[in-house]
Structure 1
């Protein structure tokens, strides 16, 4: 019930956001993450899944920071999108 509710909420969020290509991320990511976590619990147990879920949350936070900095840099400096996103990629990876 909980995972279905979360996926539904993300689907609604995806319908509200523009552009639709960006909104698609909000539809797919939660479903994939929940399926992966379910598989991990089944195969490796709760402890392993807990560690992996923390990693997913940290990765999501890191992506948010990367996307925010990239967006700011693109608006502020009017540089090439490809160059800017590649140059700032280490922010996400760190």
Structure 2
């Protein structure tokens, strides 16, 4: 239970710091970009480094990198499906989710977590 409270506090502080940074930058679209994902990732890695240790934090960071690569592939696939096949957003995202799964788990299976 203590770890969840620590995650909540550390995550909140880091999210607030990134939101403030994003609010100071121009264009304002940086506020959304810096708002959630990087701050949550840093909070998670900080707690992983402090609690289980550097090996676990390294594995966490690699899986975050694999997820980011998979998200980039997912985004490209969604764009192609929307533009080429003129599907609505929901079917395109459902189809592209298969690409995300394939890339994410393919990278994880191929390179592992560490």
TM-score (norm 2): 0.62
Describe the superposition over 1:39-93 as per-residue Cα deviations: whole angstroms up to 9, x where unpaired.
0011100011001100000100001100111012101111111011102211111
Structure 1 residues 85 and 16: alpha-carbon distance in aligned structure 2, compared to 1, 3 A threshold: same
Q: Which position in structure 2 is the counterpart of 1:36? A: 44
- Map 1:74-89 → 2, pairs under 5 A: 74-89=82-97
Bigger Rg, structure 1 or 2: 2
Over residues 12-51 of structure 1, what are the superposed CA-to-partner deviations in whole Å (9 max), with x where a residue is unaligned?
8x8547xx5xx72442100000000000011100011001
Taking CA–CA contacts closer than 8 Å with sequence separation of 6 or more, which of the two structures ends up with the larger relative contact order? 2
Where structure 2 has 5 or more consecutive residues not aligned to the other structure, the ranges are 1-13, 103-114
Gapped runs of 5+ residues in structure 1? none
Higher helix share: 1
TM-score scaled to structure 1, two decimals?
0.74
Q: Does 1:56 align with 2:64?
A: yes
Report the CA distance shift for 1:85/1:75 in structure 2 as closer, same or farther (over 3 A): same
Q: What is the aligned length?
A: 84
